[in-house]
Chains A and B, each alone.
Chain A
Amino acid sequence: MERMLRATIENEPEVLMRVTALLKRKGFQMKRIVMQSDDDQKKANLEITMQNNGPALDAALLVLKRVVNVYSVVEVKQ
């Protein structure tokens, strides 16, 4: 089973870089990354799927929540 997080972020490439850099540092293997902006180009939805054999996602979510232009982030239970 894979694990997935879903986030609403500011529609800027820097935010995607920040999120992926954070996950990389916490030791996650990312399998799929999808970022799609909303109609007014201000916010974007971000979905990242990770392999299951990494560390616990809870701690990473707490760090992601701290990022200024990450508006919300949750783990999607599959």
Chain B
Amino acid sequence: MLLSGAEIVLKCLKEYKVESIFGFPGGAVIPIYDALYQDDQGIKHYRTCHEQGAVHAADGYARATGKVGVCLVTSGPGATNTITGIATAYMDSSPVLILTGQVSSGLIGRDSFQEVDITAMTLTITKHCEMVKSIEQLQEVLYRAMEIAKEGRPGPVLIDIPKDILTQKTEYKTNSDVASVQQADRKRYEKHPLPEGIYDAVKTAKRPVIIAGGGVNISKANDALFKWASKAHIPVANTLMGSGAFPQTHPLSLGLIGMHGHAPSNRYMASADLIIALGVRFSDRVVGASEEFCKGAKIIHVDIDSSEFGKNKQVDFPWRVSIHEALATLTQLSLGCVWTGEKDLEKLQIESSDETGNEVTNEASTQVQSFNIPALFRQLKAYAGAETTVVTEVGQHQMWTAQYYHFEHVRTFITSGGLGTMGFGLGAAIGTAVAKKGRVLHIAGDGSFKMNCNELETVSKYHLPITTVIMNNHSLGMVRQWQGLFCEGRYSETDANQSVDIVKLAEAYGIKGYSVSSHAELQTVLDLVKWVEGPVLIECEIHPDEGVYPIIPAGKGIEEMLEVAPWRT
């Protein structure tokens, strides 16, 4: 059967069971949009207001499900608008397929209208990118793109398709003709044998700690992790991206570690003698001063990507293996070993609440205004429930969410970790709501929210069940906090002197908005909107001096941790 390039694109996506895609039309992709229009029983397309929203939505979809999220945009500015979103997906290993239109083959390289060399621009932020050179290649390239995006360590793949290829026709190959594509020339995942010495390191450990990273969420190894940790009584800490990999409500959970990690947890890490790091990359936001981090401990580093070994932290046992296999082996190895994780953490809990326990600290530092941050998150969790996926932007509200939401389930926390993209959240919430077909809690700061708030139109148009909570401190809180701590309070360009009426803004998009400034008011609104089906927006007035604590200044060791704002001590 002869199909046009545009029809081949849709057919390939359907073969991979893609149900929803996100995009924005333009000249170079008119043939694909025409094919979409005529395709009655196929793919549901969600049109965003801006290509950045579309790529974040595809990313959110991918993070919520583990399936490849697909984004379709036009050439030139359509393509360049996706760049921030591609880099966001790349840093957090999210499988996203970005299909960009390109000007017709004969116009390439001539500074034609809406022409950019998008594959050259995205070389360093994609797992793979290529331009389709002929209609005969198209089907194979798309198959390969889908495979590469999700295999091994996932990542974004960009495919650039010239317009003339979309209108040419060719024979659509049957599955068996292209099966070879899925096999040929693929990077083989070669696992390492068990590194020598691990056995002794495990057997002799007195105070082991597991660090669960984003890799545990990606590989869905959370159940295996739970079984091993709870059987052997090993405490589990999590990185930002590892939130939800191990229930933070469990007695063995140390919760978040790193720059804004819980103080007792960071101290406990420093006293460990064996670290089992699963799918982490020892980001500077986790380790701070690299040579100081857990320097008394032997470190087993399990990752599927061997380029992570020694990149940020020298480790004793780099082990390239899937987390599932590693956990199976470690479970065998540690048979007969019983540690005392729960007791140790209980002791830790008692000690830290005697002195300056984390939550206690924050409650003390929030006397000046109406909202107490940990209590606010308890309220939000009681409203949404532990199963609901939470999506954040980037900044103070993001760190508070990671600290106080106490995630219990895998893939329930979607956030831009590596790149730290303000404006990620609303787009990602759209993708998540589409993927989950249910309520999504979108927590934002006013700074991040304003970056892509145009997507409220998309939320409204598709009547998506998104509850947006904006923690509005009328400032760029995280940078402002750093200016307070490290620039002697010179709040350069971080205080917003001009305020937006966010409730009216929501109403302009046809979304019901509320503004609250106390726990009681918030509760009234949450009770009111509990059974609302569509989008809801709630603005919470937060004091601009509210900070994220503890904080370990960038590049410093744990001994320089500030547990409370210095002007409060």
Q: Are both chains from one complex?
A: yes
Q: Which of B119, B127, B307, B311 contacts A14 (CB 8 A)?
A: B119
Question: Are A21 and B185 within 8 A (Cβ)?
Answer: no
| CB-CB nearest in chain B for A62 | B307
A1 is an interface residue with CB less than 8 A from chain B: no
A62 to B320, CA, bound (A): 12
B293 is an interface residue with CB less than 8 A from chain A: no
B426 to chain A, nearest CB (A): 31
Interface mask (B126-155 → A, CB under 8 Å = 1, otherwise 0): 011110000000000000000010000100
List, in ascending order, chain B residues with CB within 8 A of A71's CB. Answer: 185
A22 is an interface residue with CB less than 8 A from chain B: yes
A32 is an interface residue with CB less than 8 A from chain B: no
- Residue among A18, A62, A65, A68 with the most chain B CB within 10 A? A68
Main secondary structure of the interface of A (DSSP, over half): helix
List, in ascending order, chain A residues with CB within 8 A of B120's CB. Answer: 14, 17
B306 is an interface residue with CB less than 8 A from chain A: yes
Q: Which of A43-78 contact B (CB under 8 A)?
A: 58-59, 62-63, 65-66, 68-69, 71
Q: Which of B173-196 contact A (CB under 8 A)?
A: 185, 187
Question: Are B187 and A59 within 8 A (Cβ)?
Answer: no
A25 to B125, CA, bound (A): 12
Q: Which of B97-143 contact A (CB under 8 A)?
A: 119-120, 123-124, 127-130
Question: Are B310 and A14 within 8 A (Cβ)?
Answer: no
**Count of residues in A whose CB is under 8 Å from the partner chain:** 16
List, in ascending order, chain A residues with CB within 8 A of B305's CB. Answer: 66
B46 is an interface residue with CB less than 8 A from chain A: no
List, in ascending order, chain A residues with CB within 8 A of B148's CB. Answer: 68
A69 to B128, CA, bound (A): 8
A59 to B305, CA, bound (A): 12
A21 to B129, CA, bound (A): 14
Q: Which of A14, A58, A59, A65 contacts B123 (CB 8 A)?
A: A14
Which chain A residues have a beta carbon within 8 Å of chain B's beta carbons?
A: 12, 14, 17-18, 21-22, 25, 58-59, 62-63, 65-66, 68-69, 71
Which chain B residues have a beta carbon within 8 Å of chain A's beta carbons?
A: 119-120, 123-124, 127-130, 148, 153, 185, 187, 305-307, 309-311
